[in-house]
Amino acid sequence: MASRIPELLEALHSMVTEAWGLPLGNEKCVIERDKALDILDEIKALFPTEIAEANRLLEARTDFINNAKREAETIRHAAEERARQLIDEQEIIRISRERSHEMISSAEIGTAELRRVANEYVDDAMKRTEEALATALNEIRQSRSKFRQASRLTMPPLQPQTTRPEDIDIAIDMDMGGEE
């Protein structure tokens, strides 16, 4: 809606500038009173509408600014909250990584210790087995040696021409307490 007020003011201004000046009164002039009053009445009638429109625009502007500020504040709060969440997530990730590294390190240390203990145990078991086998072997050798000595003492010397393999078996069985 275009305002007529500037147009009416321009008409009033033209009327005053084109009016006849009074003799001896350079600052005074003669204008048509009815015409000037009509213009002023019309301006006066338009002012409340113009002022109301200006006030409405000012209120709309104020509302727009307030809404924009509220929206900006909401966006800022949302961004701050998201930033806090991201920081918290990053902190959780950092703590999780530290804990996983600690757990892996601890597991590696435990595994190395377990491997060392297992190796010592297996080595000790093998050493004891080796010693037991060596002792058993010595006992077997001693028993065999005693067996040979005992069998030589109790057996009559073999006669090569009269000895048969069956006779040897019978003689061994008899020495050992066997019966035929």
Supply the pLDDT for residue 4.
81
pLDDT at 180: 40
Q: Is the pLDDT of residue 117 over 60?
A: yes
In a domain, 59, yes or no: yes
Proportion of the chain above pLDDT 70, given as a percent: 84
Is residue 178 domain-resident?
no
Across 11-32, average pLDDT:
81
Q: Which domain holds residue 81?
A: 5-111
pLDDT above 80 for 3: no
The reply to whether 142 falls in a domain is: no
Residue 169 lies in a domain: no
Minimum mean pLDDT among 38-42, 60-64, 163-167: which range?
A: 163-167
Q: Which amino acid is at 50?
A: E
- Give the predicted TM-score (pTM) of the model: 0.36
| 54 located within any domain | yes
Number of domains forming the structure of the chain: 1
- 96 within a domain of the structure (yes/no): yes
Average pLDDT of the residues of the chain: 82
